[in-house]
Structure 1
Amino acid sequence: MKRVLLAAAMALCSCIAANAQFGIKGGLNFANLKGDADENFNVYTNFHIGGLYEARIFNHVYVQPELLYSVQGAKVRDEEIKLNYFTVPVMLKVYLNGNFNLQAGPQMSMLLSESDNFGPFRSETFDFGWAGGLEFFVTDGFFIQARYYAGSNEISGNTDLKNRVVSASIGFVF
């Protein structure tokens, strides 16, 4: 029985690998913090960059895990709250045609560093939430993408603030 399961797992991995592509992406984040006392926060614009792996599961259904460096946060008056994350979104993608797809899935993030002015809030090191978006392939391999992320974890033990990010990306799959 173990051999049968091992053979099935190896066959599944080889099928996924045969229909997989690696890629790179980067773009702009339009981030903010939502929760109590959020009336003072404004959109903070920064960037994200990283790599992706797209693997076909079914005919028009793919899974796409990504490894990204993402700068999020908010503006408060003239100060910037800068939160640097290592993010891992795992998107389920459904292609509506050869060039256009819808995507949704969970995103896990680990805080790498924060701006000094956010120190008193004692940031949490882990963030989890859900992302959804759309993607369009302009040419073979070159894509543009828009995505919305809503964090479900509080980013600080002292407030109920949560990450909200709209991302605009460009990228290329090989």
Structure 2
Amino acid sequence: MKHLTIILITLLSCTFINAQVEIKPGIKAGMNIAGLSNLEENGGIRSEKITTFHIGATLSFKFARFYTLQPEVIYSKQGSEYKNFGFDGTQSIELNYLSIPVNNKFYISNSGLNFQVAPVIDILLSHKNVNNPQKVDIAIAGAIGYDIGNGLVMSIGYKQGITDLLGRNVDTGNGYETTDVSDLILNNVIQLSVGYQFKL
């Protein structure tokens, strides 16, 4: 059994060495078109999306011709504008996040075209015009990307938060949770990004 274990460890080590994982650090930045769902159901007259930005660093691990794992650390400005009863003019909710997506990039054939899906943890850094928002938002993101060449990359994607901004739960009919799903205030953002990846 001991010899079998040694053989398995040796084979696994050789596999990882021969895999020749290509590692590329990078930077990315772009435009956010951000909003918050269901503000109307929570007292707002009309909500509107806001145009902001995101910027950060990436680190890609190319394990195969068709698959790359790319964790990122991104500063992302999000929120919404809305008009509320009893207020004149437009109110603005500002939410500034440290966003940590773990992108799974799947490439089509030998082209630079790729499809991306990522779980995301958004950590709230600061906020304005909202009381006691949740410090952490869990989200799911998807994107279509293209590797232009010479290190340049671009993508268009959508990120949907799944945690209520105010920390409320969905009504399950058990008498303990009282919020209807249509009342949950959720982050959503369209992201247009360009980036550059460095060769090590």
Q: Which residue of the partner structure matches residue 132 of structure 1?
A: 142
Please give the secondary structure, in 2, of the residue aligned with 1:156. coil
Inter-partner Cα distance in structure 2 for 1:6 and 1:34: 52
Q: Which residue of the partner structure matches residue 166 of structure 2?
A: 156
Runs of 4+ in structure 1 over 4 Å off: 1-7, 14-17
Q: Which residue of the partner structure matches residue 114 of structure 1?
A: 127
Matches within 5 A, 1:1-174: 1=5, 5=9, 8=12, 12=16, 18-35=21-38, 36-37=41-42, 40-77=46-83, 78-96=90-108, 97-115=110-128, 117-118=129-130, 120=131, 122-157=132-167, 160-174=184-198
CA gap 1:65/1:3 in 2 versus in 1, 3 angstroms = farther
Cα deviation for residue 56 of structure 1 reads 1.5
Inter-partner Cα distance in structure 2 for 1:17 and 1:128: 33
RMSD across aligned C-alpha pairs, in angstroms? 2.3
Inter-partner Cα distance in structure 2 for 1:15 and 1:67: 29
Inter-partner Cα distance in structure 1 for 2:165 and 2:13: 38
Please give the secondary structure, in 1, of the residue aligned with 2:64. coil
Q: Give the letter aligned to residue 160 of structure 1.
A: L
Which protein has the larger Cα radius of gyration, Structure 1 or Structure 2?
Answer: 2
Identity of aligned residues (%): 28
CA gap 1:60/1:154 in 2 versus in 1, 3 angstroms = same
Cα deviation for residue 18 of structure 1 reads 3.8
Q: Give the letter aligned to residue 113 of structure 1.
A: S
Inter-partner Cα distance in structure 2 for 1:152 and 1:10: 41
Q: Give the letter aligned to residue 66 of structure 1.
A: E
Inter-partner Cα distance in structure 2 for 1:15 and 1:85: 39
TM-score scaled by structure 1? 0.86
TM-score scaled by structure 2? 0.76
2:45–2:82 CA contact under 8 A, matched in 1: no
CA gap 1:160/1:3 in 2 versus in 1, 3 angstroms = farther
- Consecutive unaligned residues in structure 2, runs of 5 or more: 84-89, 169-182
Equivalenced residues, count: 170
